[in-house]
Amino acid sequence: MQKRISVVTPFYNESVAVGYYERAIASLIAQMHDYHFEIVCVDDGSSDDTLEQLIAIACRDPNYVVVELSRNFGKEPALTAGLDIASGDAVIPFDADLQDPPEIIPDMVKAWEAGAEVVLARRSDRATDSHVKRKTAEWFYQLHNKVSRTKIPENVGDFRLMDRRVVDALKQLPERQRFMKGLFAWVGFKTDVIEYVRQPRSAGKTKFSGWRLWNLALEGMTGFSTVPLRIWTYIGLFGALISVAFAVFIVVRTILFGVSTPGYASLLVAVTFLGSLQLISIGIIGEYIGRIYLETKQRPNYLIRHLYRKS
């Protein structure tokens, strides 16, 4: 029997890229005729005609399954929906913008057939990204891997091949606040790596602004480490020691030289500095409490409005 490979792609307002995507997938299927392909396209509440184009493809191509979510839930829940729907022996998360080239998928499948349960696609060249994006990504990976026990491979995105047992393991993870790169790394399994050069977008513009990337980075930091909370414990301890030392200094100076009139500038600096530290620490604690609050609601990660496939 032919092995089934599922390609999972979230779509959000990718109308101009759908045609390029369909042609790239058709070329891949023609090249790998020894395998049966299932193309799971998840429309994440697009406001353009992305969904209509995907439905039209699904009506004429039995390889396609189109999942329409009830609204825009975000890329991580949309990817989770695709992984839940995918039925392949191997599953490949894949972006609609074709920056991750489908041409390396045959090499990923070969590594899988050779025994790898996860095949990572690592970007050896990110020249298509801006300098700022490259540097901030580098800083994020370094910081995350220092404070978290779950190490995220650098320059590796969602694009990878996962064996069915890996996908089944991911489906057992119940959290609502999902940072998929971290979850992929957390489950582990036997891993191989293939390097590639990242391409420019086939069409359209990225949907990830700097603000969304910042929030995603916070999600990764707070979702896989409690070190930020511990750091503020040490900062508080250090501040307390400084305060005690300063109090001893004041007592000694008063005994030796008498009482002097203190200045307002030093008092203002001390109050504002310590107040700022307190607000930052409260904010970090609030980030974790917010995660607890959202997890206790036990709401589903996504809701499916309709599933489209050719009969």
Cα dihedral across residues 287, 288, 292, 295: positive or negative: positive
Q: What is the pLDDT of residues 286-297, one digit of tens each?
A: 777 777 777 777
**Whole-number Å distance between alpha carbons of 194 and 192:** 7
Q: Residue 143 CA to chain centroid, in angstroms?
A: 15
Is there a contact between 210 and 139 (Cβ–Cβ < 8 Å)?
no
What's residue 9's pLDDT? Answer: 92
Residue 278 CA to its chain's centroid (Å): 29
50 and 14 in contact (C-beta within 8 Å)? Answer: yes
Residue found by looking up tokens 């995907």 in the block = 54
For residue 223, what are the contacts with CB-CB under 8 A and spacing of at least 6?
A: 175, 177, 179, 182, 291
Structure tokens at 131: 């300098």
pLDDT tens digits along 188-236: 888 888 888 877 655 556 555 555 655 555 665 566 666 666 676 677 6
Cα–Cα distance, 48 to 109 (Å, whole number): 34
Q: What is the pLDDT of residues 127-146, one digit of tens each?
A: 656 666 666 666 666 666 66
Residue closest to 112 by CA, chosen among 162, 172, 66: 162
> What's the pLDDT tens digit per position in 93-127?
988 888 888 888 899 999 999 888 989 888 876 66
| CATH annotation of 4-209+300-309 | 3.90.550.10
User: Which residue, 184, 178, 173, is CA-closest to 215?
Assistant: 178
In the chain, what are the domain boundaries?
A: 4-209+300-309, 227-297
Q: Looking at residue 138, what is its pLDDT?
A: 65
Residues in the chain: 311
Q: What is the mean pLDDT of residues 72-94?
A: 89
- pLDDT category, 7, cuts 50, 70, 90? very high
Q: Which ranges in the chain belong to alpha helices (H)?
A: 18-31, 50-60, 75-85, 105-113, 131-147, 164-170, 180-187, 210-224, 227-257, 264-297
Report whether 191 contacts 119 (CB < 8 A). yes
* Strand 118-125 with 156-163, pairing: antiparallel
CA–CA distance, 18 with 25 (Å, rounded to integer): 11
Rounded (10°) angle between helices 264-297 and 227-257: 160
Is the torsion defined by CA of 66, 67, 72, 74 positive or negative? negative
Is the pLDDT reported for residue 65 higher than 80?
Answer: yes
Distances (CA, A) of 146 to 152, 185, 189, 236: 10, 15, 21, 21
Residues contacting 26, CB < 8 A, separation 6+: none
